[in-house]
C-alpha cells in the first residue's frame, strides 16, 4: 500500500517520522531507559492526525485500512533503526569535544547523528548560559 503513494507523500512521511522521533527523544533527554514505545506512539498519533499535511491528503479508505497502518508501523521501525544507527559526523564529534572541553564536562556517550545533534544544541545553550 505504501508503495502506491506518491513520492512526495512518501518523502513527507519519512520526514514526519524523523521529526516526531527526534522530538520525542529530546523530550526524554535521549535517555534510552526512559524510552516508552507507547508514549512515542501517542506522540506519533497526535502528530499524524493534527499536523501531518500528507496524512490529511490521503483518502478515508486508505486511512482506515489496517494494512496501511501495518505497513506504516514497519516503515516507522525502519526509519528509527536507520536514525539510531547513523553514526555521528566527524564535525559533530569535534564540536562535542570542543563544547565539553569549554564547559569542563567529562566525556559522555552519544551513539548516533541525531543524538549528537541534540547534545550539541544542549551544550551550546549551556555555554550561552555560562557566559551570561
Contact of 6 with 95, CB cutoff 8 Å: no
Euclidean distance between CA atoms 2 and 9, whole angstroms? 9
Domain boundaries, the chain: 2-84, 90-131
Residue with cell 564529534: 93
As given in the structure block, the three cell numbers for residue 60 are 478515508
Contact of 117 with 25, CB cutoff 8 Å: no
Q: Tell me the pLDDT tens digit for each residue of 30-74.
A: 999 999 999 999 999 999 999 999 999 999 999 999 999 999 999
Q: Tell me the pLDDT tens digit for each residue of 74-111.
A: 999 999 999 999 999 999 999 999 999 999 998 778 99
Euclidean distance between CA atoms 75 and 131, whole angstroms? 43
* 132 Cα distance to chain centroid: 31
Amino acid at each position: 500500500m505504501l508503495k502506491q503513494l506518491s513520492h512526495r507523500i512518501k518523502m513527507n512521511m519519512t520526514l514526519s517520522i524523523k521529526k516526531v522521533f527526534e522530538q520525542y527523544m529530546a523530550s526524554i533527554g535521549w535517555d534510552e531507559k526512559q524510552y516508552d514505545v507507547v508514549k512515542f506512539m501517542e506522540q506519533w498519533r497526535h502528530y499524524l492526525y493534527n499536523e501531518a499535511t500528507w496524512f490529511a491528503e490521503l483518502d478515508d479508505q486508505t486511512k482506515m485500512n489496517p494494512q496501511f497502518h501495518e505497513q506504516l508501523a514497519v516503515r516507522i521501525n525502519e526509519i528509527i533503526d536507520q536514525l539510531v544507527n547513523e553514526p555521528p559526523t566527524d564535525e559533530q564529534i569535534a564540536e562535542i569535544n570542543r563544547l565539553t572541553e569549554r564547559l569542563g564536562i567529562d566525556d559522555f556517550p552519544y551513539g548516533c547523528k541525531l543524538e549528537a545533534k541534540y547534545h550539541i544544541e544542549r551544550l551550546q545553550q549551556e555555554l550561552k548560559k555560562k557566559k551570561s
